[in-house]
Amino acid sequence: MILVLLGAIVTVVSFTACVHKPQIATPTITDEGNYPTAVAKIIMNKCATSGCHNAASYQNAANLRLDTWDNMLLGSASGAEVIAYSPLYSPLLYYTNADSTLGIVAKNPGHLDVPISREDYLTLYNWVASGAPDKNGKIPFASDAATRQKLYLTNQGCDLVAVIDAKSKLVMRYIKVGADSNKTETPHDIQVSADGMSAYVSFYNGNYLQKISTVTDQISGSVNLASLATGGTGQWSVINLSPADTALMLSGYMSNGYAVTINTNSMQVNQNLSVDVQSGGTDKFVYPHGVMANATFDTFYATLQYGNVINKFTFSPVFSYKYISIDKKVPVTTQNATTPDPHQLQLSPDGTKYFVTCQNTNAVHVMDARKDSLLAIIQVGAYPQEMAVSVPRSLLFVSCLEDGDNPQPGRRGSVYVINMSTLQVTKKLYGDFYQPHDMAVDEQNGLLFVPSRNANPSGPAPHHATSCGGRAGWYSVYDLNTLEPADNKRYDVTVDPYTIDVRFKTPNP
């Protein structure tokens, strides 16, 4: 049954408009292109036609070719057009809908000579809702579920996780996350286990931590954290998984903040390894954000967002902590004009040092992991946030959310590339970014994925509205070997793409 969208829907100019002349005159297509018969009648007669999305003309029609089901799965210049089981987030439906009571109308489709009927639109809608199968029932990207390389990207504005097929680089699924349908819970961080079988999602505006099976791409477990935070709200932020995937630590970004350990098998909180309301709490965690652990998962670090402090703490034999100054000054946990304001932590692959992004001073501080002492300060772009590592290349990637030096018109943000051995900046990536927050390294395919939040109204206008309102974002893909764009595509996603992680983190054997 079709779902009728509620609320105002914004209509914007279509980027797939077929207003050009056809490159080559082509005869009427009579085959079904491997689509189910009812779907083929619509697509072949209305979309994969001369001057539009057929073999002769698709390059002038957003590079979207619809003359076969397999070609449809190649997507367009803006990424995936059909996402199985997600009719609310499949752009093909936006551009074929002429009735705003049924959903988004990206353009009251003037690029069609005759808009498709309500009945035909419902046929397409229900086909996508049932998985967009081919004529034999094959579902896109459903094969090799246990071994398929994928990436998981939180979309904070829509309570969604986008699942990206690494080989095609396209969104293959959307997973609805969160537990409260009455509010946006803001999925903040996502981390995939070392074995690649599970992903974990935290919620800045919610009470749960959720577990996703990366085989089925369905929620497989959750834990309610409401009792651990004052007023039931913990502003749950960053996840750090233990090396053996048996536990994770989660930060709670509050003035009297939290550090909670959860058993990933039972999805139960381990009070013996937690600092929260139930365990007595502490005022020594002042807005903790980034979290990190040693190899044995018994010594922990948390950045305190304002000031110059990392809290290093342990629970055995009793809870104890110490403040580590990252700038050789007296430890403070409040902000002033010169405080670094540490945001995120990244341990080096050899465990000898760790990196700290400092968003107030536009720097990465390098700390000796054995002495917890400052080794170096590396200047980067404005408002550095997250980090990603390519182990074989000994490269550290740093996202700089508000870097205004991006020379591309109307773009903002950069990715700095640092050699972890020499501690030198080797390259600055000024790509098709607008507020890049996180990155993910896919060693199997030699790719770097960089999502752009595009949360600021000054950013590029989205290509189309989304079913949950707000401004759509996108991700860009870079070749790890050349550090150049892997293609010229902008892969559209829904609102506020924020944190991304890759499924299998090591190269193929």
Residue 24 has pLDDT above 70, yes or no: no
Which whole-number Å values give the CA distances from 328 to 5, 52, 345, in the listed order?
55, 63, 18
Q: Give the pLDDT confidence of 142-168 residue by residue, as tens digits.
A: 999 999 999 999 999 999 999 999 999
Domain check: are 126 and 195 in the same one? Answer: no
Domain check: are 100 and 211 in the same one? Answer: no
Residue 420 has pLDDT above 50, yes or no: yes
Domain check: are 313 and 181 in the same one? Answer: yes
Structure tokens at 30: 């009579």
Last residue of a domain, which of 95, 114, 140?
A: 140
Residue 198 in domain = yes
Residue 499 in domain = no
Residue 19 has pLDDT above 60, yes or no: no
What is the rounded average pLDDT of the residues 3-32? 42
Rounded to whole angstroms, how far apart are CA atoms 372 and 340? Answer: 16
pLDDT value of residue 260: 97
| pLDDT band (50, 70, 90) for residue 356 | very high
Q: How many beta carbons lie within 10 A of that of residue 371, not counting itself?
A: 9
Query: What residues have CB less than 8 Å from 105, skipping those under 6 apart?
Result: 9, 11, 94, 97, 98, 99
Rounded to whole angstroms, how far apart are CA atoms 228 and 209? Answer: 12
Last residue of a domain, which of 140, 160, 189?
A: 140
Residue 430 in domain = no
Query: What residues have CB less than 8 Å from 178, skipping those under 6 apart?
Result: 159, 184, 185, 187, 203, 206, 208, 210
Residue 346 has pLDDT above 50, yes or no: yes
**Packing angle, helices 37-46 and 118-129, rounded to 10:** 120
How much of the chain exceeds pLDDT 70, in percent? 92
Structure tokens at 379: 């200047």
Q: For tokens 């700290």, what's the residue?
A: 356
Structurally, how many domains does the chain consist of? 2
Least confident of 15-24, 87-96, 305-314, 441-450: 15-24
pTM of the model: 0.93
E strands in 74-216: 150-155, 160-165, 171-176, 187-192, 198-203, 208-213
Rounded to whole angstroms, how far apart are CA atoms 508 and 149? Answer: 10
Residue 344 has pLDDT above 80, yes or no: yes
Residue 17 has pLDDT above 70, yes or no: no
On whether the CB atoms of residues 104 and 89 are closer than 8 A, the answer is: no
In eight-state DSSP terms, residue 420 is: T
Rounded to whole angstroms, how far apart are CA atoms 199 and 15? Answer: 34
pLDDT value of residue 6: 30
Residue 247 has pLDDT above 50, yes or no: yes
Residue 444 in domain = no
| pLDDT band (50, 70, 90) for residue 8 | very low
Q: What pairing do the DSSP bridges indicate for beta strands 342-347 and 320-325?
A: unpaired
Structure tokens at 222: 């959750």
Rounded to whole angstroms, how far apart are CA atoms 216 and 192? Answer: 14
If phi > 0 it is left, if psi is from -120 to 50 it is alpha, else beta; for residue 369 that is: alpha
pLDDT value of residue 319: 93
Residue 121 has pLDDT above 60, yes or no: yes
pLDDT value of residue 267: 97
Rounded to whole angstroms, how far apart are CA atoms 440 and 447? Answer: 8
Domain check: are 256 and 128 in the same one? Answer: no
Domain check: are 187 and 106 in the same one? Answer: no
pLDDT value of residue 114: 67
Domain check: are 284 and 192 in the same one? Answer: yes
Domain check: are 124 and 188 in the same one? Answer: no
What is the rounded average pLDDT of the residues 346-357? 97
Rounded to whole angstroms, how far apart are CA atoms 370 and 169? Answer: 39
Domain check: are 217 and 339 in the same one? Answer: yes
> How far is C-alpha 58 from the geometric centre of its chain's CA atoms?
29
Residue 211 in domain = yes
Residue 4 in domain = yes
Domain check: are 98 and 235 in the same one? Answer: no
Mean pLDDT, all residues of the chain: 91
In eight-state DSSP terms, residue 296 is: T
CATH number at 278 reads 2.130.10.10
Domain check: are 235 and 125 in the same one? Answer: no
What is the rounded average pLDDT of the residues 257-275? 96
Residue 261 burial by Cβ neighbours in a 10 Å radius (0-12, 13-18, 19+): buried
| pLDDT band (50, 70, 90) for residue 509 | low
Residue 434 in domain = no
Last residue of a domain, which of 321, 346, 371?
A: 346
What is the rounded average pLDDT of the residues 477-481? 98
What is the rounded average pLDDT of the residues 226-233? 90
Range(s) of the domain holding residue 263: 177-346
Rounded to whole angstroms, how far apart are CA atoms 400 and 382? Answer: 6
Rounded to whole angstroms, how far apart are CA atoms 436 and 425? Answer: 18
pLDDT higher for 108 or 275? 275
Rounded to whole angstroms, how far apart are CA atoms 186 and 159? Answer: 6
Residue 30 has pLDDT above 70, yes or no: no
Domain check: are 71 and 188 in the same one? Answer: no
Domain check: are 227 and 298 in the same one? Answer: yes
Q: Give the pLDDT confidence of 89-120 residue by residue, as tens digits.
A: 999 999 999 898 999 888 655 566 667 899 99
